[in-house]
Amino acid sequence: MQDEGPDPHRGEDVRRAGPEKESSVSRRRFIAASAAGAIGLGLAGAAFWPIWEYLSPQSAEGEKVQVTIPRSQLGIGQAHFFQYRGRPAVVFQVKPGEFIALSAICTHLGCIVNWRPEEQIFLCPCHAGKFSLTGEVLAGPPPRSLPPYPVTVKGNEIVIG
């Protein structure tokens, strides 16, 4: 014969949660699980948001983004680093009134290049990739030139983008 548990009709003690108590417990569990899930999503979002920001384009396609730099900040033969669309970039005055703007991100593995005025090159500190002041690869592992950005001069301002 199988034991089917306590039988209330035989006077056995039955301690079951009533429907209200079960409902209350399951509601409490549901709220706790929802809160834990919301907190977990918030933490995951906070952790991955900087990565998403870094990897995603800074503006929609076709949206014009311009950066303005006073000409007074850039002498001949000098490089000026700035952020363009949230990424490192550099503008350089080749000769009076002639400017070149480039991405400052090495095309090898993404390190930020440095300007070497004594050699007139951009040097990548990671694997010694060398770029000319127009961004062409001179030496090292970078597979491509530094991407250029459009530059115009408007009065006393250099406008990139």
Q: Binding residue for ligand FES (CB under 6 A) from 104, 106, 146, 151?
A: 106
Tokens for 105, please give them: 């991100």
* Residue closer to ligand FES, measured from CB, 29 or 127: 127
Angle at 46 (CA atoms; ends 42, 52), nearest 5 degrees = 125
The residue count for binding ligand FES (CB under 6 A) is 11
From residue 77 to residue 96, what is the string marking binding to ligand FES with x (rule CB under 6 A)?
A: --------------------
Q: How far is the CB of 113 from ligand FES (least distance, A)?
A: 7
The footprint of ligand FES on residues 17-56 (CB under 6 A) is: none
Q: How far is the CB of 128 from ligand FES (least distance, A)?
A: 6
Q: How far is the CB of 114 from ligand FES (least distance, A)?
A: 11
The footprint of ligand FES on residues 111-150 (CB under 6 A) is: 111, 124, 126-127, 129, 140-142
Q: How far is the CB of 100 from ligand FES (least distance, A)?
A: 19
Tokens for 75, please give them: 């002498």
Q: Binding residue for ligand FES (CB under 6 A) from 74, 87, 108, 114?
A: 108
Is residue 124 packed enough to be buried (19+ CB in 10 Å), middle (13-18) or exposed (0-12)? buried
* Residue closer to ligand FES, measured from CB, 141 or 161: 141
Which residues of this chain interact with ligand FES, rule CB under 6 A?
Answer: 106, 108-109, 111, 124, 126-127, 129, 140-142
